């Protein structure tokens, strides 16, 4: 079965970005969220992104109109009954994701592939909420989705080879680079990145250096485009904490224990750039 119609569940930053690249690649896209205002906000993000491409001469006005016409709104999960693939991009919470996948298993046709954009949760556990674990797979896009090329494709324990091949082909059609990853906590990207960020926060917590000095060491000494403290703010400190907790629980190793300072900032509501304040203050 050829993949033609895609539903993206979750109209936040990741979901809207996934919907955008799918529409740009020629797919009809249902952007689903529980609240209409969330969908409108997501569509506005897409509109702004595409408008910038027109302004930079990368897309014509007529092409912009065609892309936007491929995007459709959905507040009813029953709309999944007419799609070939669902890409879930909601909050990193296993109970919420399993509930969504259980519903999708009942609603979608037998051929429909169910994919999760989870950044760290086990695909095998998500798949166990369905009666089609062979058709459940991970598609971990990087943020911001329209810009970043990588997609980690995560096989669950039961993921079928033909399902992997279809998702690999889809990823290439979206203009992304697929990388095959097995189902372990944090996969590859976050298993390496988040402990580095957590250790940088420990370095700040222990008074080894200021946040500016830590970021400068990594930027200037290791040639990273952004220091780990500022990167944590951009990712969201609540997201960083969630991933560290998943790594800590999944491996049972204290090297993944979240820094107490990270916990304190999250409890204070200092979640990073999206909250206007994290380790740095944002206007």
Binding site membership: which residues?
A: 10-15, 33, 92, 97, 119, 143, 274
Residue 27's alpha-carbon distances to 10, 95, 157, 170, 234, in angstroms, are 17, 30, 29, 10, 30
Query: Domain end: 182, 217, 245, which one?
Result: 182
Give yes or no: 63 in active site.
Answer: no
Tell me which of 129, 147, 182 is where a domain ends.
Answer: 182
3-state secondary structure of 217: helix
- Phi, psi dihedral angles at 260 (to 5 degrees): -55, -30
**280 Cβ contact list (under 8 Å, min separation 6):** 211, 229, 230, 233
CATH classification at residue 195: 1.10.1040.10
Closest CA to 114 of 93, 134, 96, 135: 135
pLDDT at res. 81: 97
Is residue 283 over pLDDT 90? no
The per-residue pLDDT for 37 is: 97
Question: Is 111 known to be catalytic?
Answer: no
Which is catalytic among the residues 74, 116, 190, 242? 190
Name the pLDDT band for 279 (thresholds 50, 70, 90): very high
Helix (H, G, I), strand (E, B) or coil at 71: strand
Give the active site residue among 119, 120, 198, 242.
Answer: 119
Is 190 annotated in the active site?
yes
On whether the CB atoms of residues 195 and 255 are closer than 8 A, the answer is yes
| Same domain flag for 202 and 118 | no
Average pLDDT over residues 56-60: 94
Summarised one tens digit per residue, pLDDT across range 88-97 is 999 999 999 9
> What does the pLDDT read at residue 164?
98
User: Looking at 32, 38, 140, 242, which residue is catalytic?
Assistant: 140
Of 26, 17, 36, 22, give the one whose Cα is nearest residue 89.
17
- Structure pTM? 0.92
Binding residues for NAD(+), as ranges, are 10-15, 33, 92, 97, 119, 143, 274
Candidate list 74, 88, 152, 198, residue with the active-site label: 152
> Same domain for 64 and 161?
yes
pLDDT of res. 2 = 83
User: Residue 192 pLDDT > 90, yes or no?
Assistant: yes
Q: State the chain's mean pLDDT as an integer.
A: 96
Do 35 and 107 share a domain, yes or no? yes
Q: What is the residue range of 260's domain?
A: 190-274
Domain boundary among 166, 182, 198: 182
Active site residue 119: yes
55 vs 1: which has the higher pLDDT: 55
Query: Are residues 195 and 175 part of one domain?
Result: no
Q: Is the model more confident about 111 or about 3?
A: 111
Report yes or no on 128 lying in a domain.
yes
Q: Give the Cα separation of 18 and 6 in Å (integer).
A: 10
Whole-number pLDDT of residue 121? 95
């Amino acid at each position: 079965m050829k993949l033609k119609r895609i539903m993206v569940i979750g109209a936040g930053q990741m979901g809207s970005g996934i919907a955008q690249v799918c529409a740009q690649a020629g797919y009809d896209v249902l952007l689903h969220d529980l609240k209409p205002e969330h969908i409108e906000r997501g569509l506005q993000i897409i509109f702004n992104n595409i408008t910038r491409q027109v302004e930079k001469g990368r897309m014509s006005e007529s092409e912009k109109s065609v892309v936007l016409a491929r995007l459709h709104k959905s507040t009813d999960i029953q709309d999944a009954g007419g799609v070939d693939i669902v890409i879930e991009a909601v909050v990193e919470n296993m109970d919420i994701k399993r509930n969504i996948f259980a519903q999708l298993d009942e609603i979608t046709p037998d051929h429909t592939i169910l994919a999760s954009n989870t950044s760290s949760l086990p695909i095998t556990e998500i798949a166990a909420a369905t009666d089609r674990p062979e058709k459940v797979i991970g598609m971990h896009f990087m943020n911001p989705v329209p810009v970043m090329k990588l997609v980690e494709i995560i096989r669950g324990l039961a993921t079928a080879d033909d399902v992997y091949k279809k998702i690999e082909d889809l990823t290439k059609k979206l203009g992304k680079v697929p990388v095959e990853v097995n189902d372990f906590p944090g996969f590859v990207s976050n298993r390496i990145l988040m402990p580095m960020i957590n250790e940088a926060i420990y370095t700040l917590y222990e008074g080894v250096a200021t946040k500016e000095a830590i970021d400068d060491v990594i930027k200037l000494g290791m040639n990273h485009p952004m220091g780990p403290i500022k990167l944590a703010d951009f990712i969201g400190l609540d997201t960083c904490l969630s991933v560290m907790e998943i790594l800590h629980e999944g491996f049972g190793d204290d090297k993944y224990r979240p820094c107490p300072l990270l916990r304190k900032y999250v409890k204070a509501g200092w979640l990073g750039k999206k909250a206007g304040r994290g380790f740095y203050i944002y206007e």
